[in-house]
Amino acid sequence: MDIDVKMTVNGKAVSGKVEARTLLVQFIREHLRLTGTHVGCDTTQCGCCVVHVDGVAMKSCTMLAVQAEGKAITTIEGLAAPDGALHPMQQAFRDHHGLQCGFCTPGMVMMGVDIANRLPGADEKTVRHQLEGNICRCTGYQGIVEAIMDASAVMNAARS
Amino acid sequence: MHNFNYHRAADVADASGKLTSLDDPKVLAGGMTLLPTLKNRLAAPSDLIDLAGIADLKGISVEGNEVVVRAMTPHAVVAASAEVQKALPALAQLAGNIGDPAVRHRGTIGGSVANSDPAADYPAGCVGLDATIVTNKRKIAADDFFLGLFETALEAGEVITSVRFKIPERACYMKFRHPASGYAVVGVMVAKYGAKARVAVTGAGPCVFRVAEMEAALEKSFAPASVADIKVSPEQLMGDIHCSAEYRAHLITVYARRAVEAMV
């Protein structure tokens, strides 16, 4: 039996019919065709599927689409400005070479924004701890950590 | 994942009613354990009853000598709560080290407690901090709640509504964190209530348990040396690919001592 779901994705009201077992990430990728959000492990470990639900980072592979009813979702596609200008976190990943193959990057960037929002001014050790739910098998994390610290400072400055 | 019927419970009575009337239902809280279990087809419930829409299952308060955490409060909220950090910092610290940040944003105390995972952190928090598990039907002392591997005292139709932790003089939770999952390979909560001490261990046995010998020694003299030589028998402990029962037994002594060291 299909269930009607309604939510806001990247500022736009969307709706669809899903099975109860449809995961939020499946709804985002297969129904909405927003394929920036990735599925890496499908077991809540790797963080490639991280999106923001009501402004907070969550793993969309471990959430049902029906659990997102009425929520505001932001995916990697919703970060850049409408004119295409990159979000400070995206720009910093580019500047610091915070990616190699790019598969983990959407989740890393979304988690990076979440860390910067929650813990402004976090030191390097804290950022590394906060990344424990996001796995990158290319970079060794150095560029990713530098990017998050840099973007965090830019976001802080923009807030004040 | 096998398909199931999905229900949004309007209130706790509605959830309880559905739990008793439906064929093979399960409660859905944060889903951080249940959804991976379903994906692996280790369970195939007929119905999921989602508690997320019940507003009075969320929130934290300090009432007298207790910290009250309502069942659907996520770990991240407990960890960041100024009230918890002030009244019972060991609990905030425990909650802030469960899983990873995205998991802490979704996982709930009620879900963790009801699951009685042998390696979960909250059971050690409940037993170590002399908590009371409040359900829609009764109040259960944490000492009587965790019965075994994924087994609790909860009965059919019973839903956890809050957990009430007794505020200690001092407490500390120390865990040897599994580097990949964040689960406790061994976790020890030590708490001091006047002349009484509590030592609760998670990660090591089929479910959380207390170490009476350590508690008695701490009640005589609350010092690291009191527990440093007390060994727990590995006989009832778990051995798996991560480490042996003997190693877990060793870790219990080490982490109990470190917890006491941090408190004195």
Q: What is the pLDDT of residues B230-256, one digit of tens each?
A: 999 999 999 999 999 999 999 999 999
Strand partners, B162: B70, B134
**pTM reported for the whole predicted model:** 0.96
B42-60 mean pLDDT: 97
User: Rounded CA gap, B108 and B95, in Å?
Assistant: 10
Residue A135 sits in which domain range? 88-159
Domain check: are A71 and A7 in the same one?
yes
Q: What percent helix, strand, coil does chain A show, rounded to 5?
A: 40, 15, 40
Regarding whether A72 and A104 lie in a shared domain, the answer is no
pLDDT digits (tens, 9 = 90+) for B142-201: 999 999 999 999 999 999 999 999 999 999 999 999 988 889 999 999 999 999 999 999
Q: Which long-range contacts (CB under 8 A, 24 or more apart) does B42-45 make?
A: B44/B2, B44/B4, B45/B4
Q: What is the sign of the dihedral through the CA atoms of A4, A46, B49 and B54?
A: negative
Predicted confidence (pLDDT) per residue in A10-35, tens digit: 999 999 999 999 999 999 999 999 99
| Closest Cβ opposite residue A44 in set B28, B36, B38 | B36
Q: Which pLDDT score, from 0 to 100, does residue B181 have?
A: 84
In a shared domain, residues A54 and A106 = no
A38 in a domain, yes or no?
A: yes
Quote the CA–CA distance of A4 and B144 in Å, as a whole number.
Answer: 42
Can you give the pLDDT at residue B262? Answer: 97
Write down the pLDDT at residue B182: 87
pLDDT, tens only, A53-107: 999 999 999 999 999 999 999 999 999 999 999 999 999 999 999 999 999 999 9
Give yes or no: residues A14 and A71 share one domain: yes
Q: Give the mean pLDDT of B113-136.
A: 97
Residue span(s) of chain B under CATH 3.30.465.10 come to 58-263
Distance from CA of B99 to the nearest CA of A (A): 8
Number of residues that make up chain B: 264
Residue A82 covered by a domain: no
pLDDT for residue B79: 98
Query: Closest approach of chain A CAs to the CA of B92, in angstroms?
Result: 16
Kindly tell me the burial class for residue A13, based on how many C-beta atoms sit within 10 Å of its own C-beta (0-12, 13-18, 19 or more). Answer: exposed
CA distances (Å), origin B78, targets A81, A117, A137, B69, B98: 34, 18, 32, 8, 11
Contact status of A52 with chain B (Cβ, < 8 Å): no
Provide the pLDDT confidence category of residue A1 given band limits of 50, 70 and 90: low
Question: How much is the pLDDT for B180?
Answer: 83
Q: How far is CA B8 from the centre of its chain?
A: 25
The answer to whether B2 contacts chain A (CB < 8 Å) is: yes
Query: Are the C-beta atoms of B8 and B31 separated by less than 8 Å?
Result: no
Q: Residue B181's closest chain A neighbor by CA?
A: A45
Return the biggest CA–CA distance within chain A.
50
pLDDT in tens, B125-146: 999 999 999 999 999 999 999 9
Tokens of B69: 């955490």
Identify which of B1, B52, B100 has the shortest CB distance to residue A67: B52
In one-letter notation, the amino acid at residue A28 is: I
- Is A140 a domain residue? yes
- What is the CATH topology of the domain spanning B58-263? 3.30.465
Identify which of B2, B5, B36 has the shortest CB distance to residue A62.
Answer: B36
User: Nearest chain B Cα to A110, which residue?
Assistant: B102
Q: What is the ipTM of this complex?
A: 0.95
Distance CA A1, CA A152 (A): 45
Domain B5-50 has CATH 3.30.43.10: yes
